[in-house]
Amino acid sequence: MGYPLRTGQATLWLACFFATQAAFAATPENLHNHPVWLTLGHYHQDTLGSGYTSQADDPAFFLSEHGKTSPRDELAATLEAIQQPGGGNDHARCRFPARDAWLREQLDLPGAQVDCPDYDEWFEELNTEKVTLVFAASYLNSPSSMFGHTFLRLDPPQNDSEADLLLANTISYAADAAEHDSELLFAYRGIFGGYPGITAIRPYYEMIRLYNDIEHRDLWEYTLNLSQPEVDTMLAHTWEIQDKNFDYYFFDENCAYRLLALIDAARPGTNLLNEVSTHAIPSDTVRWVRDAGLVERVHYRPSAATAVSHRLDTLPRDHRTIAAAIASGYVQVDGPELQQLTDQERAWVLDATYDYVRYQSEAKGWPREFAAPLSHQLLVSRSRIEEARDMPPVPEPEIRDDQGHDTFRVSLGFGQLAHEEFTQLTLRPAYHDVLDPPAGYRSGAQLQFLRLDARLYHDNQELQVEQLVGVEIRSLSPRNQFFSPTSWQVGFGGRRTDTGTERVFTPYLEGGAGGSWRLGQNSQAFAIATADLEIDDDIRRGHDFAPGADLGLLHQTNRFSLLAGAKTKAWIISNQHRQDQLYVKGNLHIGREFSVFAEFTREDHFDRYQSTWQAGIHAYF
């Protein structure tokens, strides 16, 4: 179809090519294929053919009208533009300082000073010595945040007493979605494109407010070992892409992806983008950065939720009770219960109570008429205590998020279903389930994408898809005196279901909500009300629905994880039978690379008993 068009392009290309050759004979032949040039132009090799296309979706990012698809034309145009006399904000040298610096170095061009008022001011105000990659971990009771979020912090010189990390600037890249877009539209446009991605510069204290305080996510700060010239190159390139549109895609060209491109630009040869295949999960990108030897030091900044839990836990039990009573309004801030404490003890109770009241106001929307006067009284009382030691800081978790098990899991198992032997192969691209090694993950949280269970039955050599999980999210968050989160789960996909005569593959949708209570350091008991929907021609009425319940125990340690319980479902539309299940699943962890698993299920369905067991090994990549 595009034959004449292509000829046209080719002619044009040739014209440009010769023009370039004539004007800049000094251009080394393959400079436009240089990795640094390709990185600076965000060029990637086309899937089909040998050409290149830039990921920038903004004409303002290119100086040549063929810049998007021609690194050569763009290089020629850039080279011409930066050699024009003059200066000022609109000069190519001011718009593309990173390209300018690199080309001048490569071609030994005279590097005369150029006057770029806006860029120079911007650069000076950012006042950056070090760059820190900040990772916002997933938050309590929200496994969907498990992918995390990353942004870059521009750290001012440490010996500058007028500088302060809270005032440091950050660079982040995000989808510029309209506030009124529904979740569905957001999901659709995010996956198939349609949202512009924007590079935003914001002060760190705003990011702390957003992630630490509002979303209750812990922040991990990975200071990179970039040298001052490398940092300067990164800033110069940030200036080039700032305000330029790069379409945003959730799975690959997302927040983390664009930051990797910036790091690649800062230190040529790093090639972090080569690690990206189909998706760039922010927590994985942190691993790549770490594995590339880019991390100098790591600092942990707990979220408001983590800090308040820790503070409450630090209080002795009877002081904790006083804190709960003050927060509920049963005990006055100047009441005798508090006055009898020493200054030191009272200071800690007031601190912990204040943090708790703030947390509840932000997270649970406690009414201001109650929370604000109480907050004020707590702080006024606290300000009268002068010499109190600070509460001990939240200890840094022993295992960081990036040190947890790798997220791609392959499993091989052997088992029996009602005396039929099978071998099962499971592939799970992402991310974590409650039986995987828990270190580095939130306890009780589970998020799985696109898990495929395939079985080969030995007797008849039949290969069957047992289950294909689209998405499965589960959050078991224990309730206590202070916090009362809802435990919940949701999932959809396809699975084998028993129609009474055969096991057919049917699409399903399931969900549930309930509560969970801590039994010990590593154990919790949960009770969830569930609902299941299956839709398939092979089901008598085409679909079936089951309310049900799931009661169980979850135990998670770095050595061993166990999930056991009883499920009951009452299928009420088509098959009108109860389905009762007892299940036990255990994983023995061998480091964070392997787990040996075993599971047993006893089921009563259609008035007959049936057992399934399976054992095998999980490997994490």
Partner 1 sequence: MKKLIAGAILLGASSMAFAQPGCGVGAMIWEGQSGIAPHVLAATTNGTFGNQTFGMTTGTLGCQTNQSVQSMAMYMDSNIDKVARDMSRGNGENLDTLAVLLGVDQVDRDSFRKVLQDNFATIFPNADTTSGEAVDAIVSLLEQNESLSKYVAA
List 12, 107, 109, 201, residue binding partner 1 (CB under 8 A): 201
Q: Considering the rule CB under 8 A, would residue 209 count as an interface residue with partner 1? A: yes
Kindly state the helix (H) or strand (E) to which residue 473 belongs, with its residue range: strand 462-475
Judged by CB, which is closer to partner 1: 379, or 427?
A: 379
**Alpha helices by DSSP H, 2-133:** 3-23, 35-40, 71-82, 92-95, 97-107, 117-126
The answer to whether the CB of 513 falls within 8 A of the CB of 528 is yes
Q: What is the Cα–Cα distance from 63 to 41, expressed in whole angstroms?
A: 11
The only residue of 379, 418, 465, 566 in contact with partner 1, by rule CB under 8 A: 379
Task: Give the binding range for partner 1 (CB under 8 A) out of 198-206, 459-467, 578-586, 600-608.
Answer: 198-206
Asked if 250 touches partner 1 (CB under 8 A), the answer is: yes
The single residue among 13, 24, 123, 205 that binds partner 1, judged by CB under 8 A, is 205
Where is 280: in which H helix or E strand? none
Which of the residues 380 through 419 are near partner 1 (CB under 8 A)?
380, 382-383, 386, 388, 390
d(C-alpha 480, C-alpha 388), whole Å: 28
**Minimum distance from CB of 276 to partner 1 (Å)?**
16
First CA to last CA across the chain, in angstroms?
44
* Residues 74-133, interacting with partner 1 (CB under 8 A): 121-122, 124-127
The whole-angstrom separation of Cα 423 and Cα 455 is: 6
Residue among 434, 464, 453 nearest 583 (CA): 434
Q: Which is nearer to partner 1, 58 or 181 (CB)?
A: 181
427 φ/ψ angles, rounded to the nearest 5 degrees: -115, 125
Nearer to partner 1, 41 or 404 (CB): 404
Instruction: Please name which of 223, 220, 227 lies closest in space to residue 297, comparing C-alpha atoms.
Output: 223
| Nearest alpha carbon to residue 525 among 479, 481, 485, 587 | 479
Find the binder of partner 1 among 149, 311, 346, 428 (CB under 8 A): 149
Is residue 203 part of the contact set for partner 1 (CB under 8 A)? yes
Show contacts with partner 1 in window 327-366 (CB under 8 A).
Answer: 347, 351, 354-355, 358, 361-362, 365
155 near partner 1, rule: CB under 8 A: no
Binding segment (CB under 8 A) for partner 1, from list 39-47, 170-178, 408-416, 523-531 = 170-178
Q: How far is the CB of 364 from partner 1 (least distance, A)?
A: 9
Minimum distance, C-beta of residue 373 to partner 1, in the bound complex (Å):
5
Q: Among residues 78 and 170, whose Cβ is nearest to partner 1?
A: 170
**431 binds partner 1 per the rule CB under 8 A:** no
**What does the H/E/C string look like for 535-577?**
ECCCCCCCEEEEEEEEEEEEEECCCEEEEEEEEEEECCCCCCC
Rounded-to-integer distance, Cα 42 and Cα 289, Å: 19
Q: How far is the CB of 587 from partner 1 (least distance, A)?
A: 26
The span of 62-70, 172-180, 416-424, 595-603 binding partner 1 (CB under 8 A) equals 172-180
Find the binder of partner 1 among 6, 44, 202, 559 (CB under 8 A). 202
Going by C-alpha positions, the residue among 283, 289, 204, 199 that lies closest to residue 238 is 199
**Positions in 19-58 near partner 1 (CB under 8 A):** none
Indicate whether 309 belongs to the interface with partner 1 (CB under 8 A): no
188 is written with which tokens? 């659709």
d(CA 503, CA 608): 15
